[in-house]
Each structure stands twice: as structure tokens, then as C-alpha cells.
Structure 1
Amino acid sequence: MSTVASPGRPSARLRPLRAPRAPQRPGMLLATLALVVIALVALAPGLFTSQSPTGVRITDVLQPPGTAHWFGTDQLGRDVFARVLYGARPSVLVGLGSTAIALAGGTVMGLAAALGGRWGDWAVMRFADVVLALPPLLLALLAVVILGTGELNLMFAVAIAFIPGYARIVRAEALVVVRSGYVEAAVGLGLRRSVLIVRHVLPNALGPLLVLGTVGIGMAMLSASSLSFLGLGVQPPVPEWGALLSGGRDFFQSAWWLGVFPGVAVTVCVITMNVVGRYGQERFTKRSTR
């Protein structure tokens, strides 16, 4: 189609159509920025404060938030801002560690169900159904009672509650890969079982699992904070968000800042991990359906 030049005006040119820009998500950008800040605080809290999280000052007991102490002080005169910052490290570490343990355990359990034959699949899945019937926090609480308190035991306790859920995902993805045509052809050509699992089954099964693991980090941190709130997690004098919440509940009417600021920290961290994880899950789903 040719264009006709009008008198006294330059000829119009057809411009190529541009692909529509992807809609911007300010919530995702804000969550990513918050995630970067949380990571920096967990790695180097000393960059953000010069106060000691365990330094006791009897003369500064229960001081409200101000210029000297941004988040106020607790019943022993310790700076709450410093304790919240230093509490990010154990909270994030437990969330990451328990999620890593749960992913590893769920992968082994899911592959055992998918590749273990009819009876192996039945046994593993019935065990997973029994465990999933229990509330995750109750299961983690039972594990802590058996294993004992402490940061490492807390990781394993929280991980035990999430392993069956990850195992079901790995099993479903592995069954799809095992029953595909190229895997059956590889088996017919005599490909070893170990090579088949490493090259074909495992990479395809881990894709959605790693995406969901991002959301799982936030849920694991929330479970760990709940256990610490009950006194079964990280023990004093180590600052941890759940323990700080537990210590501030008795002073909520007279010193609200003791519980509000650790609670805000937990909330922001969990929401941030959920937003980033949901976005990654959405992108992975769109890519896999193309």
C-alpha cells in the first residue's frame, strides 16, 4: 500500500509496529529491593549500626524510639534496632538451611517414589499423605521436642515438615519425564539407570521445585520464628526475630516497640519472599507452556 503525499506536507511513512512493553510491576521491584537489603543486613549487620545487640545498659532501660535509639531499648537497655538487624542472620539462615534440607529430602523421596515401582510408589506416597495430614507447625514442634533446641536442630525440624510436599512435586514431574518417548527410547538403547536419572529425570524435576523453594524460604522462616516465639528455637542471648517477639509480649502495653519492630521485620521478609517466589513461578509456568 503506497502513501500519497499531501500538498505542502511531507509524505507519511508507515512505521513498524512495536511489540507492547511488558507491564511494569512496582511491587516486584520493591520486593527485589527489599530482598537485597535483607541480604545485606543478614550478611553484614554491622554496616547499618554501631550498637551492640547484646550490650546491657541499665541507665537506658525501656527507652522509647528516638534519635539515640531508633527502635528504642528493651528491659535490659539493649538497642532494639541493633537486635532486629542482628536477628536477621539466624532467621534467614534457618530459612535457607531448612529449605535446602527439605529440597534435598523431597528430591530423594520423590525420585524413590517415581522410580521405585508400583509398591515403592505406594509406600512412599502413603507415608507422605500421613505426614501431610498433620499441620506443618505441629510436626515441626514435635520434631523439635525430639531433636532438642538449637539452630541446627531447628533447621531439621522445619525441614521435616516440608519434605513431603516437595516430594510430591518431584514425583509428579519425574513420572512425566520417565513416561516420555525419548526416555523410553534411551532405555531401549541400553542407557544406564544412573545416567538416565542424572541427565534426564533430575534436571526436569528440579525446575519447578527450585521456584517453589523460594516461596518455601518465607514459610520456613515463619515456622522457625513461631518455634522461637515458643522458646524452642534459637536460644538467648542470640537475637532472633521470633525470640524478640516472645520477649516483647510481656511489655506490649508499656513498651510496644519491643514486639512491633521484630514483627514488622518478619512480615516484610515473608511477604518479600512470597512476592519474588510467585513471580518466579509465574515466569517459569509461562516459559514451560510455550
Structure 2
Amino acid sequence: MTTFSPARAVPVRRVQWRAGRLPEVAAWAVLVVVAAFAVAPGLFSDLSPIAIDPAGAMRGPGAAHWFGTDQLGRDQFTRVVHGTRPSLLIGLGATVLAVAGGALIGLLAVVGMRYAEQVLMRLVDILLSLPTMLLALLVITVLGEGSGNVMFAIAIAFIPGYARIVRAEALVVVRSGYVEAARALGLRQSVLVVRHVLPNALGPLLVLATVGFGTALIAASGLSFLGFGAEPPSPEWGVMLSEGRNYLSTAWWLGVFPGGAMTLTVIAVNIVGRAAQNRFTRRAPR
């Protein structure tokens, strides 16, 4: 007769737990490397990202140039490394602005006057009816081109979604029993919002913003690809993709490596964000 041994089951559970965490660990490793590229690109390459060398143009990947060279002889690995910082800054800045704007609108819609809620949420509904990239392009048309305007345009395009999330979470908190009790005891509205509504409403928003950062990064690179963001010869992933699209048949590395860097970063951000979202959902009170 076969007996069950708890001692044998523990290693199996550990192996399953570690196997389930492997994608998240790999994602964190990618993000650490990407962060190192952004903070200290000079540690990984001592070449200039904009220095040209016509004699060494269009060389394939090799020992001298890991990612090859472009049509002007610039080292692609150096440009990918130095392009990490501007690409991440635009996506991160847009996400921070969108979260701040969405949180402000969502909270005002819940704790403000009745007419304020109607005006704000109808405006949010109008903006949500427009595709994100189309709305960003409309903002750029008004503000003009440039990395700063691209960041601001993406933030405006993402604000309506975050505002909806904050409003939904804030409504749940405002109607909860402990908030009603605090209001009955005479707690001031400002204290109530800062102490109870804001922390509980922002919790899930910050988790979702992690995933939203990956989307903002794609949007920023897409707008730079179209020519609205950073301008050549600036090393930025979207700009590099735009420059390399005309040489894909003869120099595949010009598009593969910057595109691969962006893809790996977005996938890693999404994996970490989804893992954080799952943990938050499991720990949230039911």
C-alpha cells in the first residue's frame, strides 16, 4: 500500500513555486539591465552614439560592433544603450503625469460637487471615445513636435482611463462603513479624503500603472517613429527604428536590435506588472 509522505511533497511544491516565478525573475533581470543602461550608459560602451565613421558603414554584427553599424558608421550597440534613457524617460514621465491627472479628476468627481462630477466624467467619456494614439496626435498637432510634447500628449491620452479607475475605487471607499462612521463622527472632508479615500483608491491604480508604463513606452516609440518625438541623430529607440526601416532588406540589424530592446522591456514590464496585480488582488479584502 502506497503512503503519502508530506516530506516528499514539500520539494515538489518548492519546484512548482520556483518554476512559476521564473518568468518574473527573468523579467526583473531584464529590467535591472535596462535600468543600468539608462543610468550609466558609459559603463557599457565608451563610443559616442552620434560619432560617424563612413568607412565602417553598414557592417554586420561582430566582435568589433556587437549590433553592427548603421548607414553612417555609428555603432548600433552604443546607440541602443544610450537610447534607453530618453525612451524610458518619455514613457515614465507620461505615466506619472497620467496617473496624477487621472487621480485628481477621479477624486474630484467623487468628493466634489454634483455638477463637477457630471462635467468631469462627461469630458472623460468624450476622451475615451477617441483612440489613444489619435488623441495623442491631436494634442501634438496643437502643441507641436518634440520629446516633451510627446510625453505630455501621451499623458493626456492616458488620463481618462486612470480617472475612471480612481473614480470607481473611490466610490467603493466612500460608501464603505468605516468612512460613513468617520463622517458621522464629524471628520472633516479634507482629512477624510487624505487619510482614507486617497490611499485606498490609489493602491490598485499604482499597480495598473506599471502595466500602463509599457503601453506608454510603445506609444512614445511609435510617435518618435512617425517623426514627432526626438529628432536624428539623437539615439532613441523609435528614431532608430524609423531610420532602419529603409534598410531592412540589406541591413536587418538596424531594426531588429532597437526593436528587440523595446520589445523585451515592454514584455518585462508587463510580466512584473501582472505579477504585482495578481498579488494585490489576492491580498485585497473581499
Do they superpose with TM above 0.5? yes
Q: Greater helix percent: which structure?
A: 2
Matched, 1:101 2:97: yes
Following superposition, the deviation at residue 63 of structure 1 comes to 1.1
What amino acid sits opposite 2:71 in the alignment?
Q
- 1:162-221 alpha-carbon deviations (Å, 9 max, x no partner): 100000110011111111122122222221111111100000001000000100111000
Matched, 1:250 2:246: yes
Q: What TM-score do you get using the length of structure 1 for normalisation?
A: 0.91
Matched, 1:235 2:238: no
Summarize the alignment of residues 187-226 of structure 1 with structure 2, pairs less than 5 Å apart. Answer: 187-226=183-222
Provide the residue aligned with 1:63 in structure 2.
59
Q: What is the aligned residue count? A: 278
What amino acid sits opposite 2:34 in the alignment?
I
Determine the C-alpha separation between the residues in 2 that align with 1:154 and 1:127.
21
Q: Which has the larger radius of gyration?
A: 1
Following superposition, the deviation at residue 120 of structure 1 comes to 2.3
What amino acid sits opposite 2:150 in the alignment?
L
| CA RMSD across the alignment | 1.9
Q: What TM-score do you get using the length of structure 2 for normalisation?
A: 0.93
Superposition misfits of 4+ residues, deviation over 3 angstroms:
17-22
Determine the C-alpha separation between the residues in 1 that align with 2:6 and 2:178.
48
- 1:234-264 alpha-carbon deviations (Å, 9 max, x no partner): 1222110000000001111111111111111
Determine the C-alpha separation between the residues in 2 that align with 1:210 and 1:275.
15
Determine the C-alpha separation between the residues in 2 that align with 1:180 and 1:271.
37
Q: 2:138 aligns with which of 139, 142, 166?
A: 142
3-state SS of paired residue (1:23): helix
Determine the C-alpha separation between the residues in 2 that align with 1:158 and 1:285.
27
Determine the C-alpha separation between the residues in 2 that align with 1:14 and 1:261.
49
What amino acid sits opposite 1:61 in the alignment?
A
Determine the C-alpha separation between the residues in 1 that align with 2:136 and 2:153.
5
What amino acid sits opposite 1:23 in the alignment?
W
**Identity percentage of aligned residues:** 59
- 1:50-90 alpha-carbon deviations (Å, 9 max, x no partner): 22101111111111111111111111111011001101000
Inter-CA distance 160–14: structure 2 relative to 1 (3 Å threshold) = closer
Provide the residue aligned with 1:4 in structure 2.
none
Q: Any gaps of 5 or more consecutive residues in structure 2?
A: none
3-state SS of paired residue (2:83): helix
Provide the residue aligned with 2:17 in structure 1.
23
Determine the C-alpha separation between the residues in 2 that align with 1:174 and 1:27.
33
Of stretches 232-241 and 113-122 in structure 1, the one that deviates more from structure 2 is 113-122
